[in-house]
Amino acid sequence: MGGARHHGLHVPRRFGATDLAPGLRQALTESRPVYIPNVPAIGGGLSDRAGSGIYTVMPARGSVIGMIAIEHSDVDHFTARDVELVEGFVAPASLAVDNARWFARLRTVGADEERTRIARDLHDRIGQSLAYLAFQLDHIVERDTAGDPVSVEIGELREDVRGVIREVRDTLYDLRTDVSETVGIGDVLEQFVDRVSERSGLNILIDADRNARLPLLQEREMWRVGQEALANVERHAQATAVRIVWRCDGQRALIEVTDNGIGFEAGRAGRLDSYGMLGMRERASSIGATLEILSAPGRGTRVRCVLDPSKDDPGKHSEEIQRNNQAALAADSRTTDAIGVGR
């Protein structure tokens, strides 16, 4: 529990439930503002001089993130209007505090994950190509030293270098592609998918809402989850088709990426660091969303990220969701039907 301050009053920075003043305990039990007209009669308040007090909890995402105690030295000092004012203040204040906490965490998580994502992109796309070029160059030098003609190999190497340059440009473009105050996920998806389709040959279908928007930081994390899921399809899935769904009503949102690729054992998803699964889960968690992964060998993969603030605890049932998904997959092996195309 958070601490409190008042003129001349010093309290611990944290409270246990049994350390709370009786008015705060009652507010915590009843989850509503409580007016105590005679604080000494119930055992006292935060201040030993408290005569009356208004006490309430600050709820957010199904939990209590703080408590408020307003005390006065006079008995029966507050009115019903005072209680109404406190009650009207609690919801926006709780939302503001909760958002500030989540966004502070999101910035930290986002920066760390962004560095990891950039390193992975550079390794997967550019690092291996540069290693190949170095190997080919060594081979050409050896042939030249032996007096063998190398003009053909040099011509091939030149084309390989041009290919790496294209990879660098694609990687830099992908890293810069992002949502903004004026460009939402629907528009960004169109831009990004065009380039992915051009270089990979994937048949990609987009079904995206374009009217409602999330707060920018939340929408950006949802986009990064979708981008990472599509990048996994391009690099690993050996798929021919992908379907991407984006739904948003301004508060709730869903992004879903489904492919008809080779799939993998669903139980391995959380350990596949190279596939970015851990990063996607962390991004989803940082905004209070849930990440669901449905896959099996030979049956394609579905990655689904859902943001629903009305749910008490987005991560509470994640294991149950995974079990249900695996059961659903066992009952229906046609994951690829979701995208409406065959392999």
- The CATH number of the domain holding residue 51 is 3.30.450.40
What is the rounded radius of gyration, in angstroms, for the C-alpha atoms of the chain? 28
Q: Is residue 28 part of a domain?
A: yes
Partners of residue 299 on adjacent β-strands: none
Residue 53 CA, chain-centre distance (Å), reads 40
> Of 63, 78, 93, at which residue does a domain stop?
78
Angle at 181 between CA 176 and CA 185, to 5 degrees: 65
Where does a domain end: 61, 78, 95?
78
Q: What is the pLDDT of residues 319-338, one digit of tens each?
A: 444 444 444 444 444 444 44
Asked if the structure places residue 99 within a domain, the reply is: no
Q: Is the pLDDT at 204 greater than 70, yes or no?
A: yes
Amino acid sitting at position 214: L
Same domain? For 204 and 340 the reply is: yes
Same domain, residue pair 193 and 342: yes
Position 319 in a domain: yes
* 160 located within any domain: no
**4-63: per-residue pLDDT in tens?**
444 556 666 666 667 788 989 898 888 889 999 999 999 998 888 899 999 999 887 677
What's the number of CA atoms in the CB half-sphere (13 Å) around residue 313?
Answer: 7
| Region of poorest pLDDT, from 170-184, 213-227, 317-331 | 317-331
Confidence at residue 114, expressed as pLDDT on a 0 to 100 scale: 60
Question: Which segment of 93-102, 207-216, 265-274 scores lowest on mean pLDDT?
Answer: 265-274
Residue 257 lies in a domain: yes
Looking at the domain assignment, is residue 162 inside a domain? no
The reply to whether 188 and 64 lie within a common domain is: no
98 is a domain residue: no
Contacts 24+ apart (CB under 8 A), 318-321: 318/290, 318/291, 318/292, 321/290, 321/292
Flag whether 169 is in a domain: no
Which residue segment(s) compose the domain that 217 sits in? Answer: 181-343
- pLDDT winner (highest mean) among 6-15, 201-210, 274-283: 201-210
Note whether 58 and 187 are same-domain residues: no
Based on the fold, state whether residues 195 and 321 are members of the same structural domain. yes
Would you tell me how many other CB atoms lie within 10 Å of the CB of residue 34?
21
Are 341 and 226 part of one and the same domain? yes
Among 54, 78, 102, residue at a domain's last position: 78
Number of domains comprising the chain: 2
CATH classification at residue 265? 3.30.565.10
Q: What is the pLDDT of residue 335?
A: 41
